[in-house]
């Protein structure tokens, strides 16, 4: 068993930080601290954390390029996998709490509600990106093809924001949509500038 070096401790600290929101939500669920509608609170919170981690993952390249924080590059894949982790918990909460794990009802519900369809498409993109991030598959794809495939994260980000906007439109609550929408738009623009300057 290899000793815990400084780099390993650093990565462990990052993992603990990334898992902290899920652990906190689990704790609140256990102590009945999610409010009068715990299922909806859990569903929304997991969705919010998916978007937050998406913003963090997309911020790596601009921060690394413009501020010279090259060390961040080593955590981009980890952050991307946590985007998938929280998005999967969000989708699982929909399956279990919203639909009672009734798969025939789920299959009918996805195309019937556009914001669910768009969210599911975004999750499928994240699934492909997560599976292709397995080290053996990265080697098999090769660096260039892997990077080209992972540009699909931007399509996923657009679908995530469309899903979020549609969901909040039903409740006429757009404050968070504007905040995350502007943040993601800024990160996508920063990435475009990076591509054109290369």
Q: Which of 126, 33, 24 is nearest to 81 (CA)?
A: 126
Which one, of 88, 103, 97, lies nearest residue 46 by Cα?
Answer: 88
State the pTM of this model. Answer: 0.88
Q: Does 105 fall in a domain?
A: yes
Q: Is 150 contained in some domain? A: yes
Please report whether residue 75 resides in a domain.
Answer: yes
Write out the E strands in the chain. Answer: none
Q: Is residue 4 part of a domain?
A: no
- Could you tell me the maximum CA-CA distance found in the chain, to the nearest angstrom? 54
The answer to the question of residue 182 being in a domain is yes
Examine residue 95 and state whether it is found in any structural domain, yes or no. yes
Whether 131 is covered by a domain: the verdict is yes
pLDDT tens per residue, range 154-172: 889 889 988 988 887 766 6
**Residue 185 structural domain:** 38-197
What average pLDDT score do residues 168-178 get? 74
For 16-68, what is each residue's pLDDT tens digit? 999 999 999 999 999 999 999 999 999 999 999 999 999 999 888 888 877 77
pLDDT at residue 4, as a whole number? 59
The total domain count for the chain is 1
Domain annotation covers residue 9: no
Which has more pLDDT, 106 or 181? 106
């Amino acid at each position: 068993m290899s000793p815990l070096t400084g780099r390993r401790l650093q990565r462990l600290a990052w993992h603990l930080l990334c898992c902290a929101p899920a652990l906190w939500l689990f704790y609140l669920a256990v102590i009945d601290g999610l409010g009068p509608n715990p299922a909806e609170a859990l569903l929304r919170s997991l969705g919010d954390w998916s978007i937050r981690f998406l913003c963090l993952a997309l911020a790596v390249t601009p921060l690394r390029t413009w501020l010279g924080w090259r060390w961040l590059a080593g955590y981009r894949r980890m952050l991307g996998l946590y985007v998938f982790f929280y998005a999967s918990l969000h989708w699982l909460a929909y399956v279990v709490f919203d639909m009672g794990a009734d798969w025939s009802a789920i299959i009918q519900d996805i195309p019937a509600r556009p914001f669910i369809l768009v969210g599911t498409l975004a999750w499928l993109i994240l699934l492909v990106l997560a599976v292709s991030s397995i080290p053996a598959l990265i080697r098999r794809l090769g660096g260039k093809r892997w990077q080209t495939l992972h540009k699909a994260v931007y399509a996923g980000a657009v679908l995530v924001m469309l899903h979020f906007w549609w969901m909040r439109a039903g409740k006429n609550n757009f404050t968070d949509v504007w905040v995350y929408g502007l943040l993601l738009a800024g990160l996508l623009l920063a990435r475009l500038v990076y591509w054109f300057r290369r």
